[in-house]
């Protein structure tokens, strides 16, 4: 999905309920859903415990693990709770964790939900708490997602894509279209509001937080929070470094899940003041995806039928496109990213590959194909 600005709730209002100044965060609790993450869980836990404002509790929700995730997480100083009978993957693990620990938290506390393959910048939580204190209408703060240093060309494409997204987010004043599953920070009072509103003001089972049958539980929760009148935001001061897909096959599986899940969540919420702008941007994305094929057909027919030649002035656009890519590639670093930016055509081909995934996702959603998950 393309970046979408969240319409902020009126100051001091959240879902029609008065909201006073943000309370100081008495406690921070971090929940990490993890399924067979022994390779990366240590770095994730360390990045939380090394924060300039560390969380009081770091809890790994070990979900049907068959490797050493539990042992490694405990050795690094995290609490480990193993899920019971969970078949809903990440959303189910998070719901079990929240159900077990929300009763111990006050409204002024904060919950951090973080993927097990991420690592936070040292001052992430300190900066996040500052944003929440300054803006009491914020219902969730997303980490600014940064790809790990790419090891191959597929990863470099994604690193540039993520850097471009962060740049657009900053230019939009911190507006985000999704509170990223890589890491997001939620005030406890907002999570309680979500649980109360499920089944009435927002879709879902009453008393739950994440929708367990959604392919993109983070995107659905973002819509739920905005539906209740809260704002969604991010800042480049809160960076989370995450893994990216190393192969095109894994990239396809991931993006087909992301895009299909986003479309199905939008269908769930229908057309409203919350979603009308998003629907228009989705429509524009699909329209943009066919512009080049249409232009190619028109040029070919014009040449064959009338001998028309394309105007050379169009070539002047290429330096503009290249310059934008080079600026973004500087944020990624490395020879591979700069080469992709300067040659331009590979990045252009990657963007069009993502368009193909959009169309495939739409087709799968409308046909009701079986849902797939990156394993």
User: pLDDT (tens digit, 9 = 90+) per residue, 241-295?
Assistant: 999 999 999 999 999 999 999 999 999 999 999 999 999 999 999 999 998 888 7
Q: What pLDDT is recorded for position 17?
A: 43
Q: Please tell me the number of Cα atoms within 13 Å of 205 on its side-chain side.
A: 10
- List the chain domain ranges: 13-279
H/E run at residue 231? strand 231-242
Q: What pLDDT is recorded for position 302?
A: 83
Q: Cβ contacts of residue 201 below 8 Å, gap of 6+? A: 15, 227, 228
Q: What pLDDT is recorded for position 22?
A: 45
* pLDDT (average), residues 158-183: 94
pLDDT of residue 374 exceeding 70, the answer is: no
What is the Cα–Cα distance from 245 to 81, expressed in whole angstroms? Answer: 28
Taking the alpha carbons at both ends of the chain, their separation in whole angstroms is 22
What is the Cα–Cα distance from 272 to 267, expressed in whole angstroms? Answer: 11
Q: What pLDDT is recorded for position 371?
A: 65
Please give the CATH number for the structural domain made up of 13-279.
Answer: 3.90.550.10
Tokens of 285: 């994305």
* Segment 173-225, tens digit of pLDDT: 999 999 999 999 999 999 999 999 999 999 999 999 999 999 999 999 999 99
Which value, to the nearest 10 degrees, does the dihedral of the CA atoms of residues 212, 214, 215, 216 take? Answer: -100
Query: What is the pLDDT confidence band of residue 306, given thresholds at 50, 70 and 90?
Result: confident
Residue that wins the pLDDT comparison between 375 and 65: 65
Q: What percent of the chain has pLDDT over 90?
A: 77
* pLDDT (average), residues 112-139: 96
Query: What is the pLDDT confidence band of residue 10, given thresholds at 50, 70 and 90?
Result: very low
What is the Cα–Cα distance from 23 to 108, expressed in whole angstroms? Answer: 5
* Segment 323-347, tens digit of pLDDT: 888 999 998 988 999 999 999 999 9
Let me know: does 150 contact 334? Beta carbons within 8 Å.
yes
Q: What pLDDT is recorded for position 15?
A: 40
The helix/strand/coil state of 217 is: helix
What is the Cα–Cα distance from 193 to 183, expressed in whole angstroms? Answer: 20
pLDDT of residue 5 exceeding 50, the answer is: no
pTM for this predicted structure: 0.87
What is the Cα–Cα distance from 187 to 191, expressed in whole angstroms? Answer: 7
Tokens of 40: 């990366």
Q: What are phi and psi of 229, to 5 degrees?
A: 100, 5
The helix/strand/coil state of 56 is: coil
* Segment 127-146, tens digit of pLDDT: 999 999 999 999 999 999 99
What is the Cα–Cα distance from 354 to 372, expressed in whole angstroms? Answer: 17
Q: What percent of the chain has pLDDT over 70?
A: 91
Tokens of 375: 């394993």
């Amino acid at each position: 999905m393309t970046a979408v600005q969240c319409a902020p709730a009126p100051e001091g209002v959240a879902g029609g309920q008065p909201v006073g100044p943000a309370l100081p965060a008495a406690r921070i609790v971090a929940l990490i859903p993890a399924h067979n993450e022994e390779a990366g869980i240590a770095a994730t836990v360390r990045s939380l415990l090394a924060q300039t404002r560390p969380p009081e509790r770091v809890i790994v929700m070990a979900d049907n693990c068959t490797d050493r995730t539990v042992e490694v997480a405990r050795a690094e100083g995290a609490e480990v709770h193993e899920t019971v009978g969970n078949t809903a993957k990440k959303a189910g693990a998070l719901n079990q964790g929240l159900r077990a620990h929300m009763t111990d938290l006050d409204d002024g506390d904060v919950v951090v939900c973080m993927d097990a393959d991420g690592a936070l910048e040292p001052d992430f939580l300190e900066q996040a708490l500052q944003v929440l204190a300054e803006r009491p209408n914020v219902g969730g703060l997303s980490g600014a997602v940064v790809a790990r240093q790419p090891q191959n060309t597929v990863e470099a494409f994604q690193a540039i894509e993520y850097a471009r997204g962060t740049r657009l987010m900053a230019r939009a004043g911190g507006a985000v279209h999704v509170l990223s599953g890589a890491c997001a920070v939620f005030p406890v009072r907002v999570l309680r509001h979500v649980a109360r509103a499920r089944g009435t003001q927002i879709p879902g089972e009453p008393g739950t937080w994440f929708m367990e049958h959604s392919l993109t539980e983070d995107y659905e929760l973002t819509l739920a929070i905005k539906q209740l009148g809260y704002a969604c935001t991010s800042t480049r001061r809160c960076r989370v470094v995450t893994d990216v897909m190393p192969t095109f096959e894994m990239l396809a599986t991931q993006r087909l899940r992301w895009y299909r899940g986003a479309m199905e969540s939008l269908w769930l919420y229908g057309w409203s003041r919350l979603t009308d702008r998003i629907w228009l941007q989705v429509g524009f994305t699909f329209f943009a995806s066919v512009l080049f094929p249409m232009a190619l057909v028109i040029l070919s027919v014009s040449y064959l039928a009338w001998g028309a030649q394309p105007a050379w002035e169009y070539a002047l656009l290429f330096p503009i496109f290249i310059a934008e890519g080079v600026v973004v590639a500087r944020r990624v670093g490395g020879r591979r990213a700069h080469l992709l930016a300067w040659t331009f055509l590979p990045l252009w081909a990657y963007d069009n590959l993502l368009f193909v995934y959009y169309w495939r996702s739409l087709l799968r959603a409308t046909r009701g194909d079986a849902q797939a998950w990156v394993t």
